Amino acid sequence: MAMYDRLPTDLRVWLRQAVLPWSPRSALRVWRSALEKHGNDPIAAQAYLGQLEQKMLKQDSRKTWGFE
């Protein structure tokens, strides 16, 4: 829990609405990458994480149930 508490506020805001159970370590890694890709814009980084999560859910549903 302490690692979660140390995450950037904008990332914690996004994680509260996330569907998948992101670990603090992987969320921070992806967050830093998203910020770098999007010129340190936290709103764009949050949108990117949302798109990434949707992609992951789509892949999981194909594996689990055989459809999208």
Among 4-8, 19-23, 59-63, where is mean pLDDT lowest? 59-63
Per-residue confidence band for 67, with pLDDT thresholds at 50, 70 and 90: low
CB-based burial label for 67 (10 Å; 0-12, 13-18, 19+): exposed
Domain locations along the chain: 23-68
The answer to whether the pTM exceeds 0.75 is yes
pLDDT in tens, 44-65: 999 999 999 999 999 888 777 7
The mean pLDDT of the chain is 93
Between CA 49 and CA 12 the distance in angstroms is: 12
Per-residue confidence band for 34, with pLDDT thresholds at 50, 70 and 90: very high
